[in-house]
Amino acid sequence: MSPVNTKKILVILGPTASGKTNLALKLAKKFNGYIISADSRQVYKDLNIGTAKPKGKIKNIELRIKGLDNKVYVIDNIPHFMMDLINPNKTFTLADWLKITKKLLHSQILNAKFQIPIICGGTGLYISALVNNYSLPEGKIDLILRKNLEQSTLTVLLKKLKKIDLDTYKTIDKKNKRKIIRALEYTLTNKLSFANQSKKQSLAYNFLQIGINLKRETLYHTSNTRVEQMIQKGLIPETKSLIKKYNSDLPALSSIGYKQIREFLNGSLTKKQAMDLIKRDTRHYAKRQLTWFKRDKNIQWIDNYKETEKIVHTFLQK
């Protein structure tokens, strides 16, 4: 193996239920890596079954990173950072993820102990922001304004954004209500365009991005099977517990799986209707993920583990 090179970072990405977690774990064992999760929901504690969070244990590992304790989520002796990190009633943003992730990537202790960091997840915005080294908007926040905006429909929010910040409206994901709210909050509070404050900087690392390539029918079958397994493992009681411990308006409970089960629990849906909607919405989400990732021509799409291992080995030897 080549000596430690902190500039080399492996990224494992793909749509939900494509096998990213298992692949990253296998590669971490093979190449002495540690894993940083790029999943905007697995970062939360107590959200386990609905986020397909793999079972692990919290262990202490020396980090010496300001603002981070030494408690790490460990799976098969491989440390997984940015997983099971904060309570779901706390706000966690892209900027938070980037800030902590960059601290981990610069950690002398981690770089001395492990050969390569592995970013693994399906939240395309997180991965894109890191790979393209985005400089995120800095400015004032207004939680009261944010709360008021949350009461509006997606259609109303988009009309407002189009009126006051056309540049952001043209580029933003028009189905991502939370991001639209954040853009409106930023623009209204700081009197600046949200999009124009986000810009790329020169690349700080050498990335190898690997995407898992599954046939659409295989992906959908795997996705449907996962939903059925989530119900069997206890998604319904987990959602009940989250509502009781926090509240039904918890933003994290608006994600696929929890949202539909919450509607089942309040009587709006039957169990079958909830399951069918989870399956449908998961398929749609996987399709949006693929659309997002396919725009990046630097991603190498793979079909099997042996091919991946060879590509990673070559990358590390350069």
Numbers of helices and strands, H then E, in the chain: 14, 10
CATH level 2 (architecture), domain 143-197: Orthogonal Bundle (1.10)
CATH level 2 (architecture), domain 221-289: Orthogonal Bundle (1.10)
pLDDT at position 193 is 86
Please compute the mean of the pLDDT values over residues 294-310 and round it to a whole number: 94
202 pLDDT exceeds 80? no
In the chain, residues under CATH classification 1.10.20 are: 143-197
Sign of CA dihedral 93, 97, 100, 102: negative
pLDDT at position 3 is 38
Label residues 139-168 b or e (16+ Cβ within 10 Å = b): eeeeeeebeebeebeeeebbebbeeebeeb
199 pLDDT exceeds 80? no
Please compute the mean of the pLDDT values over residues 52-81 and round it to a whole number: 92
201 pLDDT exceeds 90? no
In DSSP terms, 79 is beta-bridged to 74
pLDDT at position 5 is 41
Contact between 271 and 168 under an 8 Å Cβ cutoff? The reply is no
Contact between 237 and 258 under an 8 Å Cβ cutoff? The reply is no
In the chain, residues under CATH classification 3.40.50.300 are: 8-135+201-214+291-317
pLDDT at position 147 is 83
pTM for the structure as a whole? 0.83
Highest mean pLDDT out of 147-151, 172-176, 274-278: 274-278
pLDDT at position 203 is 59
Please compute the mean of the pLDDT values over residues 17-32 and round it to a whole number: 96
pLDDT at position 249 is 85
Say what percent of the chain tops pLDDT 90.
71
pLDDT at position 133 is 85
119 pLDDT exceeds 90? yes
Please compute the mean of the pLDDT values over residues 169-191 and round it to a whole number: 88
283 pLDDT exceeds 90? yes
In the chain, residues under CATH classification 1.10.287.890 are: 221-289
pLDDT at position 107 is 92
Superfamily of domain 8-135+201-214+291-317: P-loop containing nucleotide triphosphate hydrolases (3.40.50.300)
